[in-house]
Structure 1
Amino acid sequence: MSLAPSTTQARTLRGRSGEQDAVRRLLDRARDGSGGALLLLGAPGTGRTALLDHAARLAGGFTVLRARGVPAESHLAFSGLHGLLRPVRDAPAQLPRAQAAVLRKALDLGVADGGLALAAAVLDLLSAMAARRPVLACVDDLHHLDAASREVLLFAARRLDGERVALLLASHDDRTAPGGIPSLVLGPLPAAASRELLGDLSPGLGEDLRAALERVAHGNPLALTELAGSLSPGQLAGTSPPPGSPPPGGRLWRAHTARLAGLTGEARHLLLLVAADPSLDTATLVRVAEHPDALLALEPAEGAGIVRAEGDRYAFAEPVMASVVYSGASLARRRAAHRLLADVLDQDHQRLRRAWHRAVALDGPAEELAAELAEAAEAAPPRSGHPEPFLALERAAELTGRGDLKAARLAAAARHASSSGHPRRARSLLARLSTLTVAEDMRGQAELLRGDLELLGGETGNAHDRFLAAAGWLLDRDRPLGVRALVRAAEASYTAGDNRGFLAIARRAAAVRRPDEGPAAELMFEYLAGVAATFRGRHTEAATPLHQVLRLAPAAHGPAMLVWAGAASLLLGQEANALMLATRAVDIARGRGGASALPQLLESVIQAEIWMGRYASVADNAVEGLRLAQETGQLNTAGHHLAWLALTAAVLGDEETCRVRATAALELADAHGLGVVGALGNWALAHLDLAAGRVADAAGRLRAQRRNGHVVVRVMATPIFIEAAARTGDREQAGSALRVLDRWVASTRSPDRLALAARCHALLAGPGEAEELFRHALDLHLRGTCEFETARTQLLYGSALRRDRRPGAAREHLHSALETFERFGARLWVGQARGELRAAGQTVRSTCATRPEQAAGPAARTGRAARSDKSEQLTAQQHQIARMVAEGATNREVAAQLFLSPRTVEHHLRNVFAKLGVRSRVELARLLS
């Protein structure tokens, strides 16, 4: 029997699976006679009521009681208890006469004698009811419940162990969290859950509008729901600006304005100033208020949990509240607040903020304000805080009357939005250029930016066409940008796996090249020439322009130039130099605050590290790259990092994770024309097949890729293909692949790559020739840096010696290989090495822990252990998993977000708990907060 209103259809609660599991466990314990209580704490709109409804739906066979705290009744003693027990008004008859009388007196008259009589009577009543069927009691808005009812219910909540009773309480005020009662905090929804919820509410919502709603809602599910429901036809069509706050009059708006209503006018004025400038420090706030005790007016707001002090400034405890405070003020009050702030922000480093407040307040002629704001935005240092330069430039464009100048400022705003990691906003700003008169050079710049955005998150074919169009507009107007557009078009062809397209662009570049090019343009022309010659297999010819790129690199001032120089280093076999250049590019981008560039720049670091066999570092950088790519809307870049993570999972022998990530990468590759991503995903799966002993499968994957796969990845995967083909008897194709590899390797003089070629020759050698080639390969490995490939050569050599009936000689190499594989945590290769040792007549025991992070090397492990902060002991992937779990994500949600299997997440989480010395998710959340 349920005595609560029922919902006929269950509703999916996005991002709350962990909380739903906690509610389910509470009900299961109550069914089994081990009941208890749970307190749900969360801001308005975070889903407390939805979870209570969910509990009621799950409580089949329970007696369900519901009550809600109401502010208008908070002064009426026992009004809350009356609401909870009124549906079972005859139940007190189950109690002894004295207890029944005490309970009826409280419910009928609102009075009770002192002591424990009433609280004990309520507890005994719930117990008596539960003797017939379990009981679920749900109390919403506990903070509004009258104090007498709250005291009685909390008394019962602490004494439900051994009863068939579940008491579920919900409050937005953590001051009501009593001791002895487990609590669960409902934080903001993860980004993925917010997107899913908006997809449920408005399936056809455009990406730009979706992103705007997510910015306003800050992960609050009710805010997302009400925002999606309030959209006008103009907002849905993109002709009207998106909403800047939850809809006035909605449930969330009313909840927040009710909390504000009890504050003084002075407190609300100070809150408006904080909402108008999130960077406002307390010293400046005091200057605006013009008397030293002004901040005392904010104490009630602090006490009510509306704002909290964070260092030298105030911040809203619930970000949505800031938009309610700001939008709820009249236009006149908002403009007055901005004028006050502009007057006190008089330091040089506050120039952008001052111009912003003047522009919003319309404190002067529009054109003058626009010029001041645009100039300040362009001169602002990286990570300058509020407002972001792209917002300032957008506002400047809105105040500009001249069409060409308005277009220039919109284009600049789009450029800043893209570089700061807001690609959707950049696209929206560029779309507004279509209605304006745009100069040819600016049209080319805009098209170049559109190409960049398309290459990061759209289709490579569209990006290629946009880059070529930009080059046509720019080559005669802005030479360096025009050449850059050509290089970017070539990179789009490279990403698509279109070798012919790349070569065609290289020929076009050679045709437009001039003898008096500047250093930057010269570097780009030499880069295209060198890569094109490499793709044609003319490695000797390629060396000259590639060396020219390295000669010009020291004068390069941008990360992109360093990346191209790093690529030239890799083609020349100079892995360490490539890593140095790529790392320098990443450092420059971090210093500039270029969030959008980092995921791509990390790819260049990873490419160098792959050749050096630094797989733990590859995984760390790819995890960071994947996170940043997801946060900045770069689907294609995310695909690259997924593919690299699939490869590192293959090295570690984590079959399930490798397949999950490779499949995700391949799906992106098919949808967006990412030939290089598809090739990397297939390479990862082939490596996994080879490690697992599925030699024919590995050969088949790479054989298909050799026919129409990406040229660079094809060469990188050649050693695996030759090994697999040789072991399956396809010596003809293996020999053909080796001839291609020999030509490139011979031109690089890299000992690691020469060692790989020597190993491949050994695999294809005739009787009596292999041993010398294996020894030569090992000698070359000693001069290189890739320990993992050294171990792979030792394994193959040892296996050959064992088959040649020389077990003693074989064991020496097999032991060395096993030790390296164990140190890297490469469990499938560990299994192969142990199998060979057993076949060579030796029983093998594990002597090294197979933990993936050990591949970082002794120096890195020592440095990590020396750090005092416990969280520094985690790998990048473990830290990301820990952070997501601490924010309330379940294992399945983490697995979906990071493209892992739930089993792998569980494995990592156990290691996190062990490293940090915690025993539960609650302790983890406390530690990381």
Structure 2
Amino acid sequence: MRGRRQEREVLEGLVHAARAGRSAALVVHGEPGIGKSALLGVLADAPGCRVVRAAGVESQMELAFAGLHELCRPLLDGLDRLPEPQAHALGTAFGLRSGGPPDRFLIGLAALSLLADAAREQPLVCLVDDAQWLDQASVQALTFVARRLAAESVALVVAVRTGTAERPWAGLPRLAVRGLPDGEAGELLAFAVTGALDPRVRHRILAETHGNPLALLELPRLYSAAELAFGPQPGDVATLIGRMEEGFRRRLGLLPDPCRLLLAVAAAEPLGDVALLWRAAESLGVGPGAAGPAQEAGLMELRDTVRFRHPLVRSVAYRSATASARRAAHRALADATDPEQDPDRRAWHRAQAATGPDEAVAAELERCAGDALAHGGLAAAAAFLERAAVLTPDAAVRVRRELDAARALMNAGSFDAARDLLTVTAYEPPTALQRARLDVLRAQLEFASERGNEALPLLVAAARRLEPLDLELALDCHLDALTAALFAGRLAPGGGAAEVARAARRARMPARPRPGDLLLQAMAALYADGYVAAVPSLARAAAAFDDSDLSLEEGVRFLWLAAVVGNDLWDERAWDRMTDRHLRLVREAGALSALPLALNTRVFVDLFAGDLAAAAALVEEIGAVTEAVEAPLPPYGAVGLAAFRGREEEAAPLLAAALKESTARGAGIGVSLVHWAQAMLCNGLGRYREACQDGRLAAAHPEEMAVGTWGLAELIEAAVRAGERETAAAAVGQLTEMTRASGTDWALGVAARSEAQLLDGGAAEDRYREAIDRLGRTAVRTELARAQLLYGEWLRRAGRRLEARDQLRTAYDALTAMGVEAFAGRAHRELSATGETVRKRSDDTRHDLTAQELHIARLAAEGLTNPEIGAELFISPRTVEWHLRKVFAKLGISARRELRDVRGPTLSSPS
């Protein structure tokens, strides 16, 4: 701990905060040997705290939730105290319970709740070393926990090597561990060297080690007496880490053969299970005395667990063993592992022990892949399948497993790894169908990672190639192509959506179409024949997805698109149901690649319902999710939230960045969404000429669905106010043609509101009243409030001030309660113009509450308990309690029951 005073103060501050009831997470990063593990050791005996530990192991990175299980293992006696859904999810993830795939985020919440529960009795310190070698599922769960720690009396410290492994932990507080200062480095070197050291050689060692403590301790062991006196000989290992590894390799080489074999077994076994180690060693004929030389050399400790001096020792012990010794170690570990209690790890050891193709082992790995999927471990499933493919003797079966592994990687959001695997697979597909599947996966991977326009021609070509080989796969691929056309929109290459629709319509349909086949027919009709002609088939397709028992793959892959169809049909209740169902299915499957899309789609349901607090919570969640996915979507949900909120200073930079990103990706729908958002923002601010320009751009491409109709509504309002009545009339004609075909209250209400703006006298009033009546029957509360605002404005201009005040006050109160600030400001100005003195709600306590506090307060007012609120918002019950204390202070109340008595728009629900 020489020269580490500042680092120790930071770490000890975390423990002090945990004792005071404040949680924190810290990422300690630096190069190998720099002292990260030693610093974590400072907290291993934190006074007054309970300490739990875990460490990543390179050879076990593929086993889902292995790292999280190790950390939580000492706390599992509290599993039954968690809410049952959380207990079930965590138990299933750890293989303690049977069941379907758990929600990945529910697992994270369960882990957070488990830590919070343990910290109720005593502050909890969680130490995670070598996080660069944790399995992906554990990383995702722990980053979820780290970002939601608040008031649980938990300190989470994660040590990770500097480099690409740091990326999942981005945005968390960090502590960089650097080399020791020259003085302390010299002292440590003097401690390590027992004899005389030439000053020039000393200077060279200090310069080359850059203060790395492990290097300063180990390099003198590597050099001979002559080298210490005169300097290392030419041809030495070039890198510092290489030199340290070479030093450990030499020291291991001096140990007896039984000891080296025992070290190889220990290095291959990640749990540090001493009993398991000795069972495996016994089968190899290695007795208890074999550990002595390694312990005397300070390379390994055998206490309650097996511990190596440093991860480099573990790595060198494994890699320096002969291939036959490594296989023997894995074989012994497989034999010593209980096949009922830990089948995945047993299968993995068997695979590592295999000397060549072995279908029995490969089949066992494939079964483990299925179990991993059931536990939400897509990355683990991919690893099992990839290893199974290597051991598969039959070429066709091998390629099938490689393709399945690539799909699992893609769904897990590991796009680069999936690409690498497909590159290998491309050299050996033995059948036409598998070659076509390879092309499909490449195209889907391109689309999943970019959501732009480059995947579109690839998907069309792959679908055509599949048609004579596998009709169902071909139809699914055609639907993927239409989805890609929707995203590409105005930026689609070639003939765009119409060309894709023609190709899809040429495909043969099965006698008993699936929901996805109905959706394909409907989308093709929409793009080929237009909205009005397609409405009946769109309605059938939406109903099929809304009512049917879907397979997990159908739901994850296509349900969001059916939800978009529901929105395009102006059926807000089907839109609500299907977006909610899609989000739940995606979470259950742990399909991270689909989760950002599911969340972004759901945001707009909450926005149109006027629940901006819920939408803001989803946008916050999207930010956390996209950090775990290699290629996130443009910030569609955040763009929508900015449009509804109407805060120009916040919205302008976000919209500019989103427009730039969408254009670069070739995502035409993103371009249209930004223009719609800018039109809505400017309409709220009263800048109608700007709104007219953006509305025109948003509405110009109906193939982008939903957004185009939203754009028409904004264009009509802006054009009327800007004096461009011909533009408004043309837009009304387009809109009413669609809304009449739809026939829902939402559609007809918006049409009536739009038509009223071009009419005068009684005709205008009738249409405004119809709009308010129809929209009042719907769940789209923002549309209703805007209709009331427009009607109030019309009444004021007609000189009917008293009637105008009623409508404008109703609109103002609703828009303010929902947080639709720009339109609320417009309503305020109009009310003032009627002669009514209106106090702006800038002093309203609601604006003192954060989005999270407002959401929590509303849920508490509705009667939800702290655990129920925590489950909904993915935070711990203690954090809910902490937030409620702040809410009580801001609202000037002292009890939960008083939340129901808070007057005004502070906590009122838009529904």
Task: Sort the TM-score into its range (normalised by shorter chain).
Answer: 0.5 to 0.7
What residue is the counterpart of 1:425 in the other structure? 417
In the alignment, structure 1 residue 503 sits paired with structure 2 residue 489 = no
Q: What's the CA shift string for 1:38-60, capped at 9, x where partnerless?
A: xx99565389899xxxxxxxxxx
Q: What's the CA shift string for 1:191-214, capped at 9, x where partnerless?
A: 99956999xxxxxxxxxxxxxxxx
What residue is the counterpart of 1:447 in the other structure? 439
Asked if the contact 1:653/1:828 (under 8 Å) is kept, the reply is yes
**Cα distance change of structure 1 residues 821 and 314 upon mapping to structure 2, 3 Å threshold:** farther
**Cα distance change of structure 1 residues 484 and 917 upon mapping to structure 2, 3 Å threshold:** farther
SS at match of 1:634: coil
Match of 1:685 among 669, 675, 678: 678
In the TM superposition, residue 268 of structure 1 has moved relative to its aligned partner by 10
**Cα distance change of structure 1 residues 317 and 676 upon mapping to structure 2, 3 Å threshold:** farther
In the TM superposition, residue 249 of structure 1 has moved relative to its aligned partner by 3.2
In the alignment, structure 1 residue 519 sits paired with structure 2 residue 505 = no
Asked if the contact 2:522/2:537 (under 8 Å) is kept, the reply is no
**TM-score, normalised by the number of residues in structure 2:** 0.63
Asked if the contact 1:47/1:186 (under 8 Å) is kept, the reply is no
Asked if the contact 2:752/2:767 (under 8 Å) is kept, the reply is yes
State the distance in 1 between where 2:601 and 2:375 align: 24
State the distance in 2 between where 1:306 and 1:564 align: 56
In the TM superposition, residue 622 of structure 1 has moved relative to its aligned partner by 3.7
State the distance in 2 between where 1:602 and 1:320 align: 41
What residue is the counterpart of 2:718 in the other structure? 724
In the TM superposition, residue 566 of structure 1 has moved relative to its aligned partner by 2.6
What residue is the counterpart of 1:888 in the other structure? none
Q: How does 1:396-415 map to 2 (within 5 A)?
A: 396-415=388-407
Q: How does 1:370-389 map to 2 (within 5 A)?
A: 370-378=362-370, 380-383=372-375, 388-389=380-381
Q: What's the CA shift string for 1:46-102, capped at 9, x where partnerless?
A: 89899xxxxxxxxxxxxxxxxxxxxxxxxxxxxxxxxxxxxxxxxxxxxxxxxxxxx
Give the aligned residue type for 1:424: D
Asked if the contact 1:355/1:372 (under 8 Å) is kept, the reply is yes
State the distance in 2 between where 1:364 and 1:432 align: 19
Q: How does 1:335-374 map to 2 (within 5 A)?
A: 335-348=327-340, 350-362=342-354, 366-374=358-366
State the distance in 1 between where 2:637 and 2:604 align: 9
Q: How does 1:773-784 map to 2 (within 5 A)?
A: 773-784=767-778
**Cα distance change of structure 1 residues 599 and 251 upon mapping to structure 2, 3 Å threshold:** farther
What residue is the counterpart of 2:82 in the other structure? none
What residue is the counterpart of 1:605 in the other structure? 602
What residue is the counterpart of 1:490 in the other structure? 482
**Cα distance change of structure 1 residues 749 and 285 upon mapping to structure 2, 3 Å threshold:** farther
What residue is the counterpart of 1:546 in the other structure? 539
In the TM superposition, residue 380 of structure 1 has moved relative to its aligned partner by 4.1
Q: How does 1:471-482 map to 2 (within 5 A)?
A: 471-482=463-474
What residue is the counterpart of 2:224 in the other structure? none
What residue is the counterpart of 2:631 in the other structure? 634
Q: How does 1:322-341 map to 2 (within 5 A)?
A: 326-327=318-319, 331=323, 334-341=326-333
Asked if the contact 2:644/2:681 (under 8 Å) is kept, the reply is yes
Q: How does 1:739-888 map to 2 (within 5 A)?
A: 739-840=733-834, 841-846=836-841, 847=844, 849-850=846-847, 851=849, 852=851, 860-862=859-861, 866-867=865-866
Match of 2:651 among 650, 658, 676: 658
What residue is the counterpart of 1:668 in the other structure? 661
State the distance in 2 between where 1:763 and 1:445 align: 53
Give the aligned residue type for 2:646: G
State the distance in 1 between where 2:301 and 2:617 align: 36
State the distance in 2 between where 1:308 and 1:735 align: 83
State the distance in 1 between where 2:806 and 2:419 align: 60
Q: Which ranges of structure 2 fall in alignment gaps of 5 or more residues?
A: 1-5, 11-25, 37-128, 131-154, 171-209, 216-237, 891-911
What residue is the counterpart of 1:124 in the other structure? none
State the distance in 2 between where 1:460 and 1:769 align: 45
State the distance in 1 between where 2:331 and 2:428 align: 31
**Cα distance change of structure 1 residues 41 and 532 upon mapping to structure 2, 3 Å threshold:** closer
What residue is the counterpart of 2:122 in the other structure? none
SS at match of 1:717: helix
In the TM superposition, residue 607 of structure 1 has moved relative to its aligned partner by 4.7
**Cα distance change of structure 1 residues 478 and 715 upon mapping to structure 2, 3 Å threshold:** same
In the TM superposition, residue 655 of structure 1 has moved relative to its aligned partner by 2.5
State the distance in 2 between where 1:542 and 1:869 align: 40
Match of 2:585 among 578, 583, 588: 588
Asked if the contact 1:414/1:429 (under 8 Å) is kept, the reply is yes
SS at match of 2:374: coil
> Cα RMSD over matched residues?
5.1
**Cα distance change of structure 1 residues 192 and 334 upon mapping to structure 2, 3 Å threshold:** closer
What residue is the counterpart of 2:385 in the other structure? 393
In the TM superposition, residue 634 of structure 1 has moved relative to its aligned partner by 2.7
In the TM superposition, residue 444 of structure 1 has moved relative to its aligned partner by 1.3
State the distance in 2 between where 1:800 and 1:686 align: 21
Q: Percent identity?
A: 28
What residue is the counterpart of 1:37 in the other structure? none
Match of 1:577 among 574, 579, 594: 574
**Greater shift in the superposed pair: 345-354 or 445-454:** 345-354
**Cα distance change of structure 1 residues 266 and 475 upon mapping to structure 2, 3 Å threshold:** same
Q: What's the CA shift string for 1:519-573, capped at 9, x where partnerless?
A: 356434433345336xx44425421453255246514312134334333333333
Give the aligned residue type for 1:656: E
Give the aligned residue type for 2:587: R
**Greater shift in the superposed pair: 277-286 or 350-359:** 277-286
SS at match of 2:817: helix
Asked if the contact 2:611/2:818 (under 8 Å) is kept, the reply is no
State the distance in 2 between where 1:711 and 1:769 align: 33
State the distance in 1 between where 2:248 and 2:749 align: 68
Number of corresponding residues: 669
State the distance in 2 between where 1:625 and 1:305 align: 45
Q: Which has the higher contact order (CA 8 A, sep 6+)?
A: 2
State the distance in 1 between where 2:514 and 2:538 align: 14
SS at match of 1:490: helix
State the distance in 2 between where 1:305 and 1:658 align: 57
Give the aligned residue type for 1:688: L
Give the aligned residue type for 1:624: E
Give the aligned residue type for 1:849: R
What residue is the counterpart of 2:612 in the other structure? 615
Instruction: Pick the structure with greater CA Rg.
Output: 1
Q: What's the CA shift string for 1:575-615, capped at 9, x where partnerless?
A: 22232223223322322332222223334434544444443
Give the aligned residue type for 1:817: A
Asked if the contact 2:429/2:435 (under 8 Å) is kept, the reply is no
Asked if the contact 2:399/2:429 (under 8 Å) is kept, the reply is yes
**Cα distance change of structure 1 residues 272 and 387 upon mapping to structure 2, 3 Å threshold:** farther
State the distance in 2 between where 1:681 and 1:701 align: 9
**Greater shift in the superposed pair: 778-787 or 722-731:** 778-787
In the TM superposition, residue 692 of structure 1 has moved relative to its aligned partner by 2.3
State the distance in 2 between where 1:616 and 1:790 align: 18
State the distance in 2 between where 1:578 and 1:868 align: 28
Asked if the contact 1:870/1:915 (under 8 Å) is kept, the reply is no
Give the aligned residue type for 2:577: M
State the distance in 2 between where 1:786 and 1:370 align: 54
**Cα distance change of structure 1 residues 799 and 399 upon mapping to structure 2, 3 Å threshold:** same
**Cα distance change of structure 1 residues 463 and 757 upon mapping to structure 2, 3 Å threshold:** same
**Cα distance change of structure 1 residues 318 and 703 upon mapping to structure 2, 3 Å threshold:** farther
In the TM superposition, residue 351 of structure 1 has moved relative to its aligned partner by 3.4
